[in-house]
Amino acid sequence: MTSVLYDAPGPRAKRRNVLISVIFLAVLALLVWFVWDAMNEKGQLEWALWKPFTQSEAWTTYLLPGLANTLKAAALAMVIALPLGAVFGIARLSDHRWVRLPAAWVVEFFRAIPVLLLILFANEAYDRWANVTTEQRQLYAVVTGLVLYNASVLAEVVRAGILALPKGQSEAAKAIGLRKGQTMRSILLPQAVTAMLPAIVSQLVVIVKDTALGGVMIGFTELLNSRATLAAFYANVIPSFIVVALIYIVLNFILTSFASWLEKRLRRSKKSTGAVLSAEDMEELNPAAVGGSFGTGGEGGGLPGSRTYT
Amino acid sequence: MFDFLEGYDVLGAFWTTVQLTVISAVGSLIWGTLLAAMRVSPVPLMRGFGTAYVNIVRNIPLTVIIVFTSLGLADIFGVTMGSGDFDVRGFRLAVLGFVAYTAAFVCEAIRSGINTVPVGQAEAARAIGLSFSQTLRLIVLPQAFRSVIGPLANVLIALTKNTTVAAAIGVAEAATLMKTMIENEAQTLLIGVVFALGFVVLTLPTGLFLGWLSKRLAVKR
């Protein structure tokens, strides 16, 4: 599509493109110089501030334990949210109104609430009504908040995954006399799980990014929180931000690449029915670190309320 | 039963949330459209910049960006956003962070919208001699915008919820007030419900209206 927007450049267009490139490069260079100069002026480029990152102490004392907590919270949240999401996703496809409607309400409710509110609420609830240590409470609160939100997002993923399967699958199952539960268990779910894999992996990116909220708001010692401790010790605010941001970028980039590799592989594979929930759709429709409503591609952007529940 | 609400400006906090959302939405729509234009432009350097920006910003947690605007931009570099007042400065820094972050998602939504415009449209535009910017401005983007209202609505709803991250730098919006109230008052559950419903009220009508609009304006093909 991209190249359809313009003709192959002729001599004049080539000259113009070079000119625009030069101007754009100049603006970019100016911007970089401006930032560099500002950092230099505030003494943020001094080697003393960057040196800690070349030594093991900064990593073993601050960054790696923080990263470990980030990953732990994210993994726990994913592992708990997935079965919960599957239950609600399947419940929303139920033939019975009294199962379908409450499931839909729960899913839509938790999708409409910022994950931060859920974390704050869970934190306070554990503080008041549960007998746990501070450290446990922080981890539990972050995981609870993430689970509630992401289970409802994953419920939509599961639902979309099942709906994306060709109709012939459930018709064939019916024709050979399988019951509803059997159809779901042995025909639909196994195929839907494969179709959903890329979407699930990209949801992991969202979860990883959301753990940072717990660090700032309730003191959970994850990566961003460890950055603050590290910066307080070495007095290197800007370098520590840059390093931590890089860690997040690399981590999420690996996850995103894995998701798209998985998607490509699944699309190629001859065994599947060809129904794949793309990671790309997922990211576009479920955009935000802290929130984002997931929409199934087939429905044209699943807005809360834009689909009929009955 | 609701006397715990006394002494707290809940509506005021939600008003700040709405202001954050609207201003950031306008800003990120403009910046996101520019980024999308760069990503499809004939100049390789601009394409590279757009791609790099989106991929970098999308993979950084919003919380990191928002905290950075306060601890980095304001405290270290002395960016005051044209105001000495702490609250106003925090608000504007938060908007800056939201625009920088959300624009990446707006860009991706619009780019996917551009891809839904049939190739024939752009080919016809080129055939009658329109330049790249004319093709984009007069033919492709007007059609693309109509088909991305759905995805953009999702971005807007996400943004509404994301504004709570501004609590990380102490902007007096809904999540900040909820944190204060939930710590000081006994009715934990009720406070949670009140704020949750506040966000349902903010996001649900937006979703319904824009969903209706996207169906109405969708290009029939």
A278 pLDDT band, cuts 50/70/90, is: low
B152: CATH: 1.10.3720.10
Distance between A271 CA and the closest CA of chain B, angstroms = 29
- For the segment A165-186, what is each residue's pLDDT rounded down to a tens digit? 889 999 999 999 999 989 999 9
CB count in 10 Å sphere of residue A42: 15
Q: Is the pLDDT of residue A131 over 90?
A: no
Q: How far apart are CA A255 and CA A74, in angstroms?
A: 13
Say yes or no: B54 contacts chain A, CB-CB below 8 A.
no
Q: How far apart are CA A97 and CA A106, in angstroms?
A: 14
pLDDT for residue A293: 34
Hey, what are A12's tokens? 């004049």
Q: Is the pLDDT of residue B114 over 90?
A: no
Distance between A179 CA and the closest CA of chain B, angstroms = 36
Distance between A180 CA and the closest CA of chain B, angstroms = 33
Domain A61-269 CATH assignment equals 1.10.3720.10: yes
Distance between A59 CA and the closest CA of chain B, angstroms = 19
B50 pLDDT band, cuts 50/70/90, is: very high
A301 pLDDT band, cuts 50/70/90, is: very low
Q: Is the pLDDT of residue A307 over 70?
A: no
Q: Cβ separation of A285 and B151 shorter than 8 Å? A: yes
pLDDT for residue B59: 92
Domain count across chain B: 1
Say yes or no: B109 contacts chain A, CB-CB below 8 A.
yes
Hey, what are B150's tokens? 């759905």
Chain B residues touching residue A289 (CB < 8 angstroms) = 61-63, 101, 162
Q: Is the pLDDT of residue B176 over 80?
A: yes
Residue A78 corresponds to which amino acid? M
Hey, what are A245's tokens? 């941001």
Q: How far apart are CA B52 and CA B56, in angstroms?
A: 6
Chain A residues touching residue B160 (CB < 8 angstroms) = 291
Hey, what are A94's tokens? 């139920």
Nearest residue of B to residue A250 by CA position? B59
Which of B46, B143, B161 is the best substitution to test chain A (most A C-beta atoms within 10 A)? B161
pLDDT for residue A225: 92
**DSSP-derived 3-state class of residue A6:** coil
CB A198 within 8 A of CB A276: yes
Q: Mean pLDDT highest for which of A270-274, B98-102, B128-132?
A: B98-102
**DSSP-derived 3-state class of residue B175:** helix
A275 pLDDT band, cuts 50/70/90, is: low
pLDDT for residue A272: 58
pLDDT for residue B166: 94
Q: How far apart are CA B92 and CA B158, in angstroms?
A: 19
pLDDT for residue A274: 59
Who has greater pLDDT, A294 or B80?
B80
Q: Which DSSP helix (H) or strand (E) runs through B122? A: helix B119-127
Q: Using CB atoms and an 8 Å cut-off, which of residues 112-141 of chain B contact chain A? A: 112, 114-115, 117, 119, 122-123, 126, 131-132, 135-136, 140
Chain B residues touching residue A206 (CB < 8 angstroms) = none
Percent of chain A at pLDDT exceeding 90: 53
pLDDT for residue A295: 31
Hey, what are B72's tokens? 């980095």
Q: Among residues A259, A190, A24, which one has the least CA distance to residue B50?
A: A24
- For the segment B154-171, what is each residue's pLDDT rounded down to a tens digit? 999 999 999 999 999 989
Hey, what are A106's tokens? 């729960």
Please give the mean pLDDT across all residues of chain A.
84
Residue B51 lies in domain: 3-217
Q: Is the pLDDT of residue A292 over 90?
A: no
CB count in 10 Å sphere of residue B124: 13
Q: Where are the beta strands (DSSP E) in B148-193?
A: none
Q: How far apart are CA B212 and CA A210, in angstroms?
A: 30
Say yes or no: A285 contacts chain B, CB-CB below 8 A.
yes
Q: Is the pLDDT of residue A3 over 70?
A: no
Average pLDDT over residues A193-205: 88
Q: Cβ separation of B64 and A2 shorter than 8 Å? A: no
A302 pLDDT band, cuts 50/70/90, is: very low
Tally A–B CB contacts below 8 A: 232
3-state helix, strand and coil shares in percent for chain B, rounded to the nearest 5: 80, 0, 20
Give the residue extent of every domain in chain A: 61-269
- For the segment A34-87, what is each residue's pLDDT rounded down to a tens digit? 999 988 888 888 888 888 888 888 888 889 999 999 999 999 999 999 999 999
Chain A residues touching residue B182 (CB < 8 angstroms) = 120-121, 124
Who has greater pLDDT, B25 or A292?
B25
Closest partner residue to B211 among A4, A241, A303, by Cβ? A303
Q: How far apart are CA B125 and CA A154, in angstroms?
A: 42
| Residue A165 CB contacts under 8 Å (≥ 6 apart), including other chains | A188, A191, A192, A195, A273, A275
Chain B residues touching residue A295 (CB < 8 angstroms) = 150-151, 154
Nearest residue of B to residue A299 by CA position? B150
Q: Cβ separation of A300 and B214 shorter than 8 Å? A: yes
Residue A272 corresponds to which amino acid? S
Average pLDDT over residues B8-31: 94
Chain B residues touching residue A256 (CB < 8 angstroms) = 59
A210, A213, A214, A219 alpha-carbon torsion, rounded to 10°: 150
Burial of A307 (0-12, 13-18, 19+ CB in 10 A): middle
pLDDT for residue A271: 62
CB A155 within 8 A of CB A88: yes
| Residue A173 CB contacts under 8 Å (≥ 6 apart), including other chains | A182, A183, A186, A187, A188
Q: Is the pLDDT of residue A283 over 70?
A: no
